[in-house]
């Protein structure tokens, strides 16, 4: 009997109007992982459902009073020093100029 293979606590889900490209991608990934499409979709759904929605995440991480202003240009200059320390003095001089580097071409 077919039901005995799945047990009493298993449900069936039918997805209607599944685009052909999504079906093909699922089939390919299932083949690549040596699994069935049903097992793959179950695993993908479990993983997705284990993650909080944005609203759930937002409720757990209230932003009131915990954020601070960020000087993006300064932060980028600090990071650039790590990757190109020889260029740092030139960038610092440009940023300290009266125009504040406003006329830079971005190159």
Q: What is the pLDDT of residues 38-65, one digit of tens each?
A: 999 999 999 999 999 988 888 887 776 6
pLDDT value of position 105: 45
**Cα-flanking dihedrals φ and ψ of residue 50, to 5°?**
-80, -15
Contact at 8 Å (CB) between 26 and 39? Answer: no
Distance CA 95, CA 12 (A): 62
Distance CA 18, CA 37 (A): 13
Query: Helices marked H in 1-107 — which ranges?
Result: 2-6, 20-32, 37-50, 54-60, 72-83, 88-96
pTM above 0.85, yes or no: no
pLDDT value of position 1: 40
Name residues of the chain where pLDDT drops below 70.
Answer: 1-8, 64-67, 84-107
pLDDT value of position 65: 62
């Amino acid at each position: 009997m077919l039901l005995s293979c799945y047990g009493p606590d298993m449900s069936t889900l039918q997805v209607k109007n599944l685009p052909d490209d999504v079906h093909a991608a699922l089939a390919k990934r299932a083949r690549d992982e040596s699994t069935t499409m049903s097992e793959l979709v179950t695993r993908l759904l479990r993983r997705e459902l284990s993650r909080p929605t944005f609203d759930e995440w937002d409720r757990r991480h209230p932003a009131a009073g915990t954020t601070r202003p960020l000087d993006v240009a300064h932060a980028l200059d600090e990071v650039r020093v790590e990757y190109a320390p020889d260029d740092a003095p030139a960038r610092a001089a440009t940023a300290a100029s009266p125009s504040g580097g406003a006329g830079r071409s971005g190159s």
